[in-house]
Amino acid sequence: GTPVNIIVGSHVWVEDSDVAWIDGEVEKINGEEVVIQATTGKKVTAKLSKIYPKDEEAPAAGVDDMTKLSYLHEPGVLQNLKIRYELNEIYTYTGNILIAINPFQRLPHIYDAHMMQQYKGAPFGELSPHVFAVADVAYRWVLYQSDLFLDKNKDYVIPEHQDLLGASKCPFVVGLFPPLPEETSKSSKFSSIGSRFKLQLQQLMETLNSTEPHYIRCVKPNNLLKPAIFENVNIMQQLRCGGVLEAIRISCAGYPTRKPFFEFINRFGLLYPEALEGSYDEKVACKKILDSMGLKGYQIGKTKVFLRAGQMAELDARRTEVLSGAAKKLQRRTRTHQAQKRFIVLRKATISLQALCRGRLSCKLFENLRREAAAVKIQKNGRRYYSRKSYKKLHVSALSVQTGLRAMAARKQFRLRKQTKAATIVQAQWRCHRATTYYKKLKNGVIISQTRWRGRLAKRELRKLKMASRETGALKEAKDMLEKKVEELTYRAQLEKRLRVLYQSDLFLDKNKDYVIPEHQDLLGASKCPFVVGLFPPLPEETSKSSKFSSIGSRFKV
């Protein structure tokens, strides 16, 4: 995975401590950090350089040769092996390496005689991976046992016998005596079997040196030695120790992705549609597609396209963008078409429904008009009858209401007058009480002031008399006279005070000869004001029995 190949929405592989690798979808990219929503449900944050792209178009059953993988990396190899192991496909090629995973169970169909017969003589790679394919290739390159073989076969072959046996109709005999090359026949007239074998052995070694070696790596899927258990971490360690991952790394350093022309055009032709529209052959079309993407370092062979590491992911990322744009455009056009079609159907249905509803409404309107005209005539007569009846009833009710209202107004006015009179009496009592209190305070103040002033004058006179009495004895008599005069003035002031109080009480009785109505007495006696209640205490029973009405003066006397 490289930074240019991973975008938001890409499906990638990320390392996991439990299962080695887990797949997920990129949700956010923050610089060199990537947030991935794994298929297991958890969110993983990893560095951009530590994740690998996932091929969403890989075959569901995996590939038999992992060099055909679009992304040749560790998680891709592990996923492919796991898929094939779950399908009981225990053999998988990785170039010239055959990976065999122990199933820990019997699979009779893999090793029966029919399977062996299928691989006998079949070209390598034509059938699915199998140990029989490697064994058949090895068997076809014949191994010779040459110990003491030359000492036993020193006999010369007569040319006439050579020609006679070479013309045999038995293929086996003809194969034992092939015709000698011209150089050999010219150099020696007679050739032994040993010399002929040396020649054949030399040809065999040249053939073996020109062949490609094949390796078999056996992998144990779990340490429990039980079937259907695929331990990712354990298998990754075995592949790393067996050199498989190193071979993959070396392959990635070269051209890890190798796609046939047809598959490459079928997958990436949409990146440059002009290459498909023109009459180009597959090789030229592949070159135009790669050039349009600006890729460098790739190679085009006779039947395949060889891509560098990361170029496949870059092409897939661009292909994903193109497919996403095309999908959005297709969805937009499809939704537009569906909406337009739905609108046309809805409009037709609406027009039909409107016509039907309008016809129905017209019929109902005519019927309603006819009924309305009849109803108006009935209502006119009915309203006239009910109006007259209501008028009479209303007239009688109005008279009753007016009578009640007038009686209520009269009672209310009478009650108001009673309350006004009671309030007037209360105000008179309160004002009288306030005036009396003020007068008493003023009188007491005047008397006290007069007394103090007269006392002060008397003291002055006394001091003068005392001073004068020292000179003459006549002053003593004056002193006695002044003392008597002071006592007389004091007595006169007290007498005057008493007379004023009696005079005021006589005036109060003359002013308050009004009689108190018992109803007003009860009303004012029930007041919440303590002062008003104190002015109108309840009368004794004897008083209430003796006189029906009592004046304020008589109450004051009591």
pLDDT at 396: 92
Instruction: Using alpha carbons, list the distances in angstroms from residue 532 to 418, 425, 522, 523, 558.
Output: 16, 10, 12, 10, 17
> What average pLDDT does this structure show over 64-85?
87
pLDDT at 4: 44
Q: What angle do CA 456, 462, 466 make, to 5 degrees?
A: 150
Identify the band that residue 348 occupies on the pLDDT scale cut at 50, 70 and 90.
Answer: very high
pLDDT at 298 over 50: yes
* Winning range, highest mean pLDDT, from 146-160, 272-286, 313-327, 350-364: 350-364
Cα separation, 257 vs 311, in Å, equals 9
pLDDT at 162: 73
| φ/ψ (deg, to 5) at 305 | -105, 130
pLDDT at 351: 93
pLDDT at 153: 53
* Winning range, highest mean pLDDT, from 156-165, 177-186, 493-502: 493-502
The closest of 501, 324, 531, 482 to 493, measured between CA atoms, is 501
pLDDT at 550 over 60: no
Identify the band that residue 413 occupies on the pLDDT scale cut at 50, 70 and 90.
Answer: very high
Identify the band that residue 41 occupies on the pLDDT scale cut at 50, 70 and 90.
Answer: confident
pLDDT at 328 over 50: yes
H/E run at residue 383: helix 311-471
The CB density around residue 417, as the number of other CB atoms within 10 Å, is 10
Identify the band that residue 2 occupies on the pLDDT scale cut at 50, 70 and 90.
Answer: very low
The 3-state DSSP class for residue 305 equals strand
pLDDT at 534: 62
CB 185 within 8 A of CB 66: no
Partners of 52 in the β-ladder: 13
Q: Supply 474's token pair.
A: 């006549």
Longest CA–CA separation in the chain, Å: 216
What does the pLDDT look like over 244-285, one tens digit per residue? 888 777 777 777 777 888 888 888 888 888 887 777 788 888
pLDDT at 198 over 80: no
pLDDT: which is higher, 11 or 479: 11
Identify the band that residue 314 occupies on the pLDDT scale cut at 50, 70 and 90.
Answer: confident
Identify the band that residue 430 occupies on the pLDDT scale cut at 50, 70 and 90.
Answer: very high
Identify the band that residue 169 occupies on the pLDDT scale cut at 50, 70 and 90.
Answer: confident
The closest of 142, 56, 131 to 101, measured between CA atoms, is 131
pLDDT at 188 over 60: no
> What average pLDDT does this structure show over 334-347?
94
Side-chain-facing half-sphere of 420: CA atoms under 13 Å: 6
> What average pLDDT does this structure show over 122-135?
85
Quick one: how far is CA 82 from the chain centroid?
36
What does the pLDDT look like over 446-488, one tens digit per residue? 999 988 898 889 888 888 888 877 777 666 777 778 888 888 8
pLDDT at 479: 73
pLDDT at 531: 56
Identify the band that residue 519 occupies on the pLDDT scale cut at 50, 70 and 90.
Answer: low
pLDDT at 545 over 60: no
Residue 12 burial (CB < 10 Å; 0-12/13-18/19+)?
buried
H/E run at residue 413: helix 311-471
Cα separation, 63 vs 66, in Å, equals 6
> What average pLDDT does this structure show over 421-448?
91
Q: What angle do CA 309, 311, 316 make, to 5 degrees?
A: 125
Cα separation, 370 vs 202, in Å, equals 122
CB 504 within 8 A of CB 436: yes
pLDDT: which is higher, 51 or 471: 51
Mean pLDDT check: name the lowest of 38-42, 143-147, 464-468: 143-147
Cα separation, 244 vs 103, in Å, equals 19
Identify the band that residue 411 occupies on the pLDDT scale cut at 50, 70 and 90.
Answer: very high
Mean pLDDT of the chain: 80
pLDDT at 552: 47
Q: Three-state SS string across 32-78, please?
A: CEEEEEECCCCEEEEEHHHCEECCCCCCCCCCCEHHHCCCCCHHHHH
Mean pLDDT check: name the lowest of 258-267, 305-314, 401-410: 305-314
CB 436 within 8 A of CB 501: no
Long-range CB pairs of 113-120, under 8 A, 24+ apart, other chains included:
none
Q: Supply 228's token pair.
A: 């259907």
Partners of 93 in the β-ladder: 65, 98
Instruction: Using alpha carbons, list the distances in angstroms from residue 380 to 372, 373, 386.
Output: 12, 11, 10
> Side chain identity at 269, as an amino acid letter?
G
* Winning range, highest mean pLDDT, from 45-59, 243-257, 529-543: 45-59
pLDDT at 549: 46
pLDDT at 151: 52
> Side chain identity at 17, as an amino acid letter?
S
pLDDT at 337: 94
pLDDT at 444 over 80: yes
The closest of 252, 245, 289, 217 to 70, measured between CA atoms, is 252
pLDDT: which is higher, 42 or 96: 42
